[in-house]
Amino acid sequence: MRDIRSWAPFAAVLLAATLAACGGGGDGDQTPRVAYSKMVSFGDSLSDVGSYRVGAIAQLGGGEYSINGSAGVNWTELLAASAHVTAPCAAQTGLQSTIPSIPAVAVVNHAGCYGYGQGGSRVTNPIGVANAALPAPQLGQLTDPVKNQILRHLATSGGTFAADDLVTVLAGGNDVFVNLAAIQQGLTPTDAVTAMATAGGELGAYVKSMIVANGAKHVVVVNLPDVSQTPFAYSLDLQTQGLINTMVVQFNTQLAAGVAGTPEVLLVDAYTQGRDQNARPASYALTNVTTPACDLTKTALPTSLVCTASTLVATDVTGYEFADTVHPTPFGYSLLARFVAENMIKNGWL
């Protein structure tokens, strides 16, 4: 079995190859063409670098939504290495669990940490997936929405972004899950699609009015990958899969409209890239794009948040795309990081 600690060096090799192939750096040592001082990341579980790595979750060896190990496996951590900045640390940690076997842990804000993404977070609504305000029992994820994440950063940074910040934004998946669940409670599919379009427009507006307007010069906005092409969606009927795809497309359409004509924003099309990976997996060294690498019958919770090398479905899951039903493996994250890096290089940002 591949030692989990080998994922980060493996991803670094991928990114170095990307820099060399795309002409990044320009001086032969992959030095970025833009000198960044730090990364500031906003979003949800796909960008969460350890908001819930506390208490029982930490004791289980968990903390990130992937295959956990001693090395960071998140796409923002991998991208930070290419940008020659320190990987972001979790800006806020804690757990408001209502599960008896998982004690709650006090919420703590960490000065000097700029990884604001949190598992379960939505774009605007503070009640995200597994939030303690939902009917018990819940893991008690903090789910601070992206809007509040940005406001918290501004409150600690004098109301501005530094011109040499590398800012990343990726969100919307939890709005899919919440709106899909709401259909079971009476929300119409049409209203769910409309809600997703609204969320996409809101995210675009936040990027322009709260991030760019406050000084950021390099904002990488990654659109929402196709949630309809995940193990979660494959467990549903074809009609629901089609609805999920429509929700994602409408979110992305409004997000793109919201940031259009903003030179400080680089919009990265992870939706199209992810669909290509699904259609041509061998071209990306993927061997499995339909089932999770984590055996969720072995984990204390049914999520990759607590998945480790000891809870996998096979001795070798190197080519798996998904860790659980929606989150990437370390290799899946490295593919996203590489794609983002390619786009940054082409835009002269790396």
Query: For the chain, what are the domain ranges?
Result: 32-344
Nearest 5°: phi and psi at 69?
Answer: -160, -160
Model pLDDT, residue 70: 72
- Predicted TM-score (pTM) of the model is 0.93
Model pLDDT, residue 18: 58
Sheet containing 219-222: order of strands: 38-43, 165-170, 219-222, 265-268
Model pLDDT, residue 82: 94
Average pLDDT per 10 consecutive residues for the chain, totaling 350 residues:
43 55 53 89 98 98 94 88 96 98 97 98 98 97 98 98 98 98 96 98 98 98 98 98 98 98 98 98 98 97 96 96 97 97 97
Question: What is the CATH class of 32-344?
Answer: alpha beta
Model pLDDT, residue 245: 98
Model pLDDT, residue 6: 46
Model pLDDT, residue 19: 56
How far is 225 from 291, CA to CA, in rounded Å? 17
Model pLDDT, residue 33: 86
